[in-house]
Structure 1
Amino acid sequence: MSETLDIYSLVGFLGTACIIGAYFYLTAVERPNPWVLHGTNLLGAAFLTISLLVHTNWPSLILEGFWAAIALWGLAKAWRGKRRTHDEAREA
């Protein structure tokens, strides 16, 4: 591997660090905050997608699309849960 690292590779490494960090957070914390967990995963998927658009690897690019979709679904679920809790508190 004699390629020099360009900015897109470094962005990809940052994305990898985000996803690994989110997985570590999920494993290490008793009750993970969904905003931190899914937000970090979404950020990681975005960084990796930027890298993969330049250094195309189709299976990895598709994986990042699913990774981002799952993170967005998790954030939407957290937002709905927060709204539900807020509405229940208002009714009480």
Structure 2
Amino acid sequence: MNTIDWLGFIGVFQILLAYILNLIGKIKNTDLTFILLNLIGAAMACLASIFMEYIPFIILEGVWTFASLISLLKYKKKQ
């Protein structure tokens, strides 16, 4: 695996980790940990997709990153 593969792999792993932790009740979808795992993971996966020039996943991960950023801003506003 090359650097781009690792970037995408780690990003997707973070997104899946957030999802699994939420499913088993370890974190809530409103927790900062959940939001950051999604934000950073999606950004990394999006960047890897940009390097691979794979448009469908650029769109998917770009929107996921944007949605996570909105969640982070809402979280900060509540604090």
Q: TM-score, normalised on structure 1? A: 0.77
Matches within 5 A, 1:73-88: 73-82=70-79
1:23: Cα distance to partner?
0.5
Deviations 1:54-82 (A, max 9, x none): 11210110011110111011111111111
Q: Distance in 2 between matches of 1:67 and 1:78?
A: 16
SS of 1:29's partner is: coil
Deviation of 1:34 after TM superposition, in Å, equals 2.1
Structure with max Cα Rg: 1
What whole-Å deviation, never above 9, does each CA across 1:33-58 have from its counterpart, x for those lacking one? 52111110011011112211211210
Gaps in structure 1 of 5+ consecutive residues? 83-92
2:2 corresponds to = 6
Partner Cα distance (1:53, 1:72) in 2: 19
Moved over 4 A (4+): none
Pairwise CA RMSD: 1.4
The one-letter amino acid of 1:47's match is M
Structure 1 residues 43 and 9, CA, compared in 2 at 3 Å: closer, same or farther? Answer: same
Identity %: 26
